[in-house]
Amino acid sequence: MAAIDISSVGKIYTGGVRAVSDINLDIKDGEFIVLVGPSGCGKSTLLRMVAGLEAISEGTVKIGDRVVNEVEPADRDIAMVFQNYALYPHMTVRQNLEYGLKNRKTPRAEIDARVNEAARMLEITQYLDRKPRALSGGQRQRVAMGRAIVRKPAAFLFDEPLSNLDAKLRVSMRGEIKRLQRRLGTTSIYVTHDQLEAMTLADRLVVLSGGQIEQVGSPLDVYHTPASTFVASFIGSPAMNLMKAELQGDKLAIGPSLISLNGYAPTSGAVTVGLRAEDLRVVSGDEGMPFTVEYVEELGSQRLAHGVVGDQAVTIALSGEAEITDGMRITIDPSKLHFFDAETGKRLDARAPAKAVAAVAEPVG
Amino acid sequence: MYRAKFSDHLILILGSLFLCMPVVVAFMTSTHTAADIHSNGLSLAWGDNFIATYEKVLTQKGGFTGDITGARMVMNSLILGIGFAVGKIVLSMMAAYAIVYFRFPMATLSFWVIFTTLLLPLEVRIMPSYQVMSDLGLLNTYTGLIVPLLASATGTFYFRQFFKSVPEELLEAARIDGAGPFKFFIDILVPISRTMIAAIFIIMFVYGWNQYLWPMMMTTDESFFTLMRGIKSILQVWVGSNIPDYNEAFALAVLAMLPPVAIVVIFQSWFIKGLTESDK
């Protein structure tokens, strides 16, 4: 077990393509870090640099007290779980688990003890003598995890390990990975493009975009105070509504409506304002913003109404039995508004006072 | 649903007859005496000389020097065929491993150089090859018979394509598991290539088994004669009033067919296994 220290790490491929730049990340011993971002954001490259499968072009990676830039993957004391499992097809499950230990000249008795323990932990004992092809996807993924566990490494690296599983299995395996990591207390880095996986697994989330860190923080921090419009739109489902708006002194103009901020505005002029679907409420009368429903998604416990305010798309989350009518009006508690710079998309870190009164509709000039 | 009609079966039956009849005729004819064949031609009926002919073919000393038996020729052919196939597989696997998994200067170029040798069959380089073997004093040796033919562009190409289809994660997992280049090759790559190896073994064995020109160039000592040359030499004995031993020639031809057939039958199950079970 060890801390991992990534400082000013960058990756430039031959040909000058820059995949990752200036990543600084301090991972504490035993922490579960999830790297999340759209495809091509450099998250896998970063993980592979920590694993040693990709050369580090700039900066240093430390595992424990040791700089590992030039260390072979096998000597970095890490174990990796791959998306396609990468089990050795011609070996039985037991041989798969043993292979890494045998190569390290671990004594036979020790190997057996560790393999049996890992198999018991993952409930794959009855499959130990089968070949991987006789196993289902979920079982193969357990074997892949077993191969990592028996090594007792300083860190686990997961490269989208659940992407090849069906939705139901993914949820249960997610829980299992989390439980296992808690129990073993091994530092873990987990790469995924699935924001739900990221939210549920992480101690800390690292949101990447274009090879750079957008935000690092606990899942709830990232959810409640996204650092940029990118993070806001990436984390959370349904995605946060981002609308062009204008701050006019104490009031916020969104499309045809004005929202009174009661005494506080982070700046003035054009901003991008973010509204979580579940923070929007339907109001009666002629308060709030006029909302025209285009279609409704039924999720059972929730209904998602997709529509427009003015000419901007908005999604609101309503309770399962809420009524949806034409000519609805919606509003939001101003304390739940997120403001972003209209140009850079960065968060304008200020909030309207919590006491601010709900929006009042006034026609704009 | 499509129901098989009589005409469908007819086509299949005719096709299999077309393929099987020559073999059946050769076998049946070989059971008659030479004189019988000389006067009555090919035969479809069972003769009564089966044991006598095959025993004679396998054990009787023949040839010019009179000290080579059929069994010896079978063994020579086996050595050539197996040595050939095994050598080619070992060499081309290692070449393909180098080309696919190692970055070295001009790797692509060297692959294409190997590949273009496909365009140069043995016959083109038979003189220089002979000269080299002769200078090395390897005429009339098994080494001289086998080694010059080992470099195989075909095998290298097949293995290259196969290695390229092996998921990269397998290599990465092995690296993390502490397997070096040599271990990865022996522990992982060779076992997962086994269906590929079986396929190439069949092709190369039959190719080596059927070699005629090269053994004829390389070996003058009759104790190195292969079956292919033996068949020829039996028919050449036309001295005086002797009738060529047609029956023995046919018997040798039938015998020559057996090992390749056996190899195909043995490896066939591997073949099918390789096709139906995705192993990667």
pLDDT at A356: 43
pLDDT at A357: 44
Q: Please list every residue in chain B whose beta carbon sits closer than 8 Å to the beta carbon of residue A51.
A: 172, 176
The mean pLDDT value for B70-89 works out to 89
Q: Mark yes or no for CB contact B192/A99 under 8 Å.
A: no
Per-residue burial over A32-71, b = 16 or more CB atoms within 10 Å of its CB, e = otherwise:
bbbbbbeeebbbbbbbbbbbbbbebbebebbbbeeebeee
pLDDT at A249: 77
pLDDT at B64: 63
Tell me: the pLDDT tens digits for B112-147?
888 888 888 778 888 888 899 899 988 888 998 898
Residue A215: partners with Cβ closer than 8 Å, 6 or more residues away: A205, A206, A207, A222, A226, A227, A228, A231
CA B143 to CA A240: how far, in whole Å? 75
Please give the angle made by the CA atoms of B64, B67 and B69, to the nearest 5 degrees. Answer: 105
Count other C-beta atoms under 10 Å from residue B132's C-beta.
14
Residue A306 to residues A94, A274, A292, Cα–Cα distance (Å)? 51, 16, 8
According to DSSP H, which parts of chain B are helical?
Answer: 6-29, 34-40, 50-59, 70-101, 107-116, 126-135, 142-146, 153-165, 168-176, 181-183, 190-192, 194-209, 213-218, 227-236, 246-276
Tell me: the pLDDT tens digits for A299-357?
888 899 999 988 899 999 988 877 888 778 888 888 888 889 888 889 886 654 444 44
Q: Are B107 and B198 in contact (CB under 8 A)?
A: no
pLDDT band at B72 (very low <50, low <70, confident <90, very high): confident
Q: Please list every residue in chain B whose beta carbon sits closer than 8 Å to the beta carbon of residue A74.
A: 175-179
Q: Are B21 and B36 in contact (CB under 8 A)?
A: no
* Residue A51 touches partner B, C-beta closer than 8 Å: yes
pLDDT at A253: 86
Tell me: the pLDDT tens digits for A150-161?
999 999 999 999
The mean pLDDT value for A124-130 works out to 93
The mean pLDDT value for A136-159 works out to 92
Q: Mark yes or no for CB contact A147/B278 under 8 Å.
A: no
Smallest Cα distance from B271 to chain A, Å:
16
Q: Mark yes or no for CB contact B178/A86 under 8 Å.
A: no
Interface test with B, best of A82, A85, A158 (most B CBs within 10 A): A82
Residue A365: partners with Cβ closer than 8 Å, 6 or more residues away: none
Q: Are B129 and B121 in contact (CB under 8 A)?
A: no
ipTM score: 0.83
Instruction: Taking the CA atoms of A184, A187, A192 and A198 in sequence, report the sign of the dihedral they define.
Output: positive
Smallest Cα distance from A93 to chain B, Å:
14
Q: Which of A326, A292, A287 is nearest to A309 (CA)?
A: A292
Residue A66 to residues A4, A28, A53, A190, Cα–Cα distance (Å)? 9, 15, 17, 21
Using N-to-C axis directions, what is the helix angle for B227-236 and B70-101, rounded to 10°?
140
Tell me: the pLDDT tens digits for A5-61?
999 999 999 888 899 999 999 999 999 999 999 988 999 999 999 999 999 999 999
pLDDT at B242: 66
CA A259 to CA A329: how far, in whole Å? 13
CA A84 to CA A161: how far, in whole Å? 7
CA B181 to CA A339: how far, in whole Å? 55
> Does the structure show a pLDDT above 80 at B241?
no
Instruction: Taking the CA atoms of A202, A207, A213 and A218 in sequence, report the sign of the dihedral they define.
Output: negative
* Cα B271 → chain centroid: 17
Count other C-beta atoms under 10 Å from residue B110's C-beta.
14
Task: List domains and CATH numbers for chain A.
Answer: 4-233 (3.40.50.300), 238-341 (2.40.50.140)
Tokens of A136: 């289902």
Q: Are B57 and B255 in contact (CB under 8 A)?
A: yes
* Residue B280 touches partner A, C-beta closer than 8 Å: yes
Q: Mark yes or no for CB contact B172/A82 under 8 Å.
A: yes
Tokens of A227: 């650092």
Share of chain B above pLDDT 90, in %: 22
Interface test with A, best of B177, B187, B196, B270 (most A CBs within 10 A): B177
Phi-psi region of A329 (alpha: psi -120 to 50; beta: other; left: phi over 0): beta
Helix, coil or strand: residue B50 = helix
Task: List domains and CATH numbers for chain B.
Answer: 23-276 (1.10.3720.10)
Q: How many CB pairs under 8 A join A and B?
A: 66
Share of chain A above pLDDT 90, in %: 59
Q: How many residues does chain A have?
A: 365
Tokens of B208: 């080596």
Phi and psi at A288, nearest 5°, equal: 75, -175
Tell me: the pLDDT tens digits for A240-287?
999 998 888 778 888 778 888 766 677 778 889 999 999 988 887 777
The two beta strands, A241-248 and A269-275, are antiparallel
The helix (H) or strand (E) run that includes residue A209 is strand A204-209
Q: Mark yes or no for CB contact B279/A74 under 8 Å.
A: no
The mean pLDDT value for B19-45 works out to 85
For residue A159, how many C-alpha atoms fall within 13 Å in the half-sphere facing its CB? 25
Phi-psi region of A85 (alpha: psi -120 to 50; beta: other; left: phi over 0): left
Q: Mark yes or no for CB contact B172/A73 under 8 Å.
A: yes
Tokens of B127: 């003189």
The mean pLDDT value for B14-36 works out to 89
Tell me: the pLDDT tens digits for A193-219?
999 999 999 999 999 999 999 999 999
* Cα B40 → chain centroid: 34
Using N-to-C axis directions, what is the helix angle for A108-122 and A93-103, rounded to 10°?
140
pTM of the entire predicted model: 0.81
Q: Which of B92, B63, B85 is nearest to B154 (CA)?
A: B92
Name the DSSP letter for residue B21. Answer: H
Q: Mark yes or no for CB contact B172/A86 under 8 Å.
A: yes
Tell whether omega for the bond before B121 is within 30 degrees of 0, i.e. cis: no
CA A207 to CA A34: how far, in whole Å? 8
B105 versus A287: the higher-pLDDT residue is B105
Order the strands of the A212-217 sheet from edge to edge: A78-81, A155-159, A187-192, A32-36, A204-209, A212-217
Smallest Cα distance from B173 to chain A, Å:
7
pLDDT band at B236 (very low <50, low <70, confident <90, very high): low
Tell me: the pLDDT tens digits for B183-225?
999 999 999 888 888 888 888 898 888 888 888 888 888 788 8
Q: Are B24 and B6 in contact (CB under 8 A)?
A: no
Mean pLDDT of chain B: 84
Tell me: the pLDDT tens digits for A75-98?
999 999 999 989 999 999 999 999
* Residue B192 touches partner A, C-beta closer than 8 Å: yes
pLDDT at A358: 46
Residue of A nearest to B166 (CA): A86
pLDDT band at B240 (very low <50, low <70, confident <90, very high): low
Q: Mark yes or no for CB contact A72/B188 under 8 Å.
A: no
